Structure 1
């Protein structure tokens, strides 16, 4: 073999090795992002303000009144907002807080795959909205954003507005979502959502008591932090081998029976 050919093969091997190293590094960064952010949500910045997970969720309750579930809510006490086909063979249960950076991290990594699977009718997602960060850091942004998302569900626009809230999420310590005006302004990013009915629902806190009831169910479930994500009952956040590709493979295998 000529020296030139040998050099060419070495160069190709070097490129492949470099690509493998690059992929491994990207995967490590992805896992660090989700795990690291999850610690922030569980502890509520305990190192800074002395709040521990055991005290999480002790936010002031919403205004007194009946728990008005949003249109189409399902499950026990109508606390789940469903996205996807009812007959899908796999169900992803997501407990989330719109102020939580780990929830945003999960969305950033998994959203394209989740959308692909729900659109194909292979996966059904049940979203449960909680206000963990309100309890950890104070404020009402988690509650106000969750109520607004429930109002979007009434309008049949939950999924799109859900994504907008994460795309525009303020810093965890910034209670910007406590401002109903901001939440209404963000509705302008979803076609057909900013209507008088939506504005009234947001301003009146129509679903506030329902959000509190959902948060109580989260606490009763013994979950340690947000996001808590269960695929057919199994916690995938705790599964260090889980990736979007593996999630897709698992769901598609179940779909094929």
Structure 2
């Protein structure tokens, strides 16, 4: 009897360990979920990064900030930053309302700025909008539309950084309204214009937003952020630390 009890206890402990591991995985990414429960979309707010009202430095090619990464281009549902002929490619799948995408942008993604500016790597962004379905509202669609508009203005890297830096404290708060997105745009020199403002307020690129979401789905991606380095998925906490992600890039020959 004692042996059976010990065996049952061991099973319970093992089950608890597995469950804890799964919770840890779910708490480090945002996932599409038809049940609307967030699919690990950061319901545990303690795991999400704190909000910031300031955008990363975007001024001047010598700052090694977003501006130094050069202009962006669009092909299908993908926005590409950097030299299209760069030897290496990093593909980034994000949803603007995902707190872990913000954590990536303020952590691991910072290791990309230099290599992109130097022409060693290009970054392909797929801007998803599934969290609107999970959490309600239209913030992800609004933000994706505004980000697409910033490409036409030649300010995508700077505005992309500003949008994530200005992410609301709770991803369930649908704060990415057109008015708020225009307020964020004020932080990027030269972005605001009649054309840009109209695109943001009128949803000029919502058809493209759907195309980007189709790309996300067709690529079989299950969570954001998902990051591929030359086709290989970057895993774990390395996404959220600049030094650790720099090591992952170096393994792929990017430094």
TM beyond 0.5: yes
**Matched residue of 2:190: which SS?**
coil
User: In the alignment, which of 230, 234, 237 is matched to residue 236 of structure 1?
Assistant: 234
Q: Conserved in 2, the CA contact under 8 Å of 1:88 and 1:122?
A: yes
Structural RMSD (CA): 2.6
The aligned counterpart of 1:51 is 37
Distance of aligned partners of 1:235 and 1:51 in 2 relative to their CA distance in 1, 3 Å threshold? same
The aligned counterpart of 1:246 is 247
User: In the alignment, which of 90, 93, 105 is matched to residue 91 of structure 2?
Assistant: 93
TM-score normalised per structure 1: 0.70
The aligned counterpart of 1:22 is none
How many residue pairs match? The answer is 197
- 1:52 and 1:142 mapped to 2: Cα distance? 14
Larger Rg: 1
Give the Å deviation of 1:51: 2.4
Give the Å deviation of 1:73: 0.5
The aligned counterpart of 2:175 is 176
Q: Conserved in 1, the CA contact under 8 Å of 2:121 and 2:254?
A: no
Q: Conserved in 2, the CA contact under 8 Å of 1:117 and 1:248?
A: no
Considering fraction of residues, name the structure with more helix: 1
The aligned counterpart of 2:31 is 42
The aligned counterpart of 2:105 is 107
- 1:224 and 1:244 mapped to 2: Cα distance? 21
What are structure 1's unaligned runs of at least 5 residues? Answer: 1-33, 55-70
Q: Conserved in 2, the CA contact under 8 Å of 1:38 and 1:225?
A: no
Distance of aligned partners of 1:37 and 1:119 in 2 relative to their CA distance in 1, 3 Å threshold? farther
Give the Å deviation of 1:156: 0.5
**Matched residue of 2:182: which SS?**
helix
- 2:143 and 2:32 mapped to 1: Cα distance? 21
Q: How does 1:52-91 map to 2 (within 5 A)?
A: 53=39, 72-74=73-75, 78-91=76-89
The aligned counterpart of 1:206 is 204
The aligned counterpart of 1:5 is none
Give the Å deviation of 1:111: 2.6
- 1:143 and 1:112 mapped to 2: Cα distance? 25
Give the Å deviation of 1:108: 1.4
Q: Conserved in 1, the CA contact under 8 Å of 2:108 and 2:246?
A: no
The aligned counterpart of 2:150 is 152
**Matched residue of 1:73: which SS?**
strand
Q: Conserved in 2, the CA contact under 8 Å of 1:113 and 1:244?
A: yes
- 2:155 and 2:81 mapped to 1: Cα distance? 11
Distance of aligned partners of 1:200 and 1:43 in 2 relative to their CA distance in 1, 3 Å threshold? closer
Give the Å deviation of 1:247: 2.9
The aligned counterpart of 2:14 is none
TM-score normalised per structure 2: 0.70
The aligned counterpart of 1:60 is none
What are structure 2's unaligned runs of at least 5 residues? Answer: 1-23, 41-71
Q: Conserved in 2, the CA contact under 8 Å of 1:99 and 1:142?
A: yes
**Matched residue of 2:188: which SS?**
coil
Distance of aligned partners of 1:174 and 1:120 in 2 relative to their CA distance in 1, 3 Å threshold? same
Distance of aligned partners of 1:120 and 1:221 in 2 relative to their CA distance in 1, 3 Å threshold? same
Q: Conserved in 2, the CA contact under 8 Å of 1:164 and 1:186?
A: yes
- 1:72 and 1:153 mapped to 2: Cα distance? 7
**Matched residue of 1:160: which SS?**
helix
Distance of aligned partners of 1:254 and 1:226 in 2 relative to their CA distance in 1, 3 Å threshold? closer
Q: Conserved in 2, the CA contact under 8 Å of 1:95 and 1:218?
A: yes
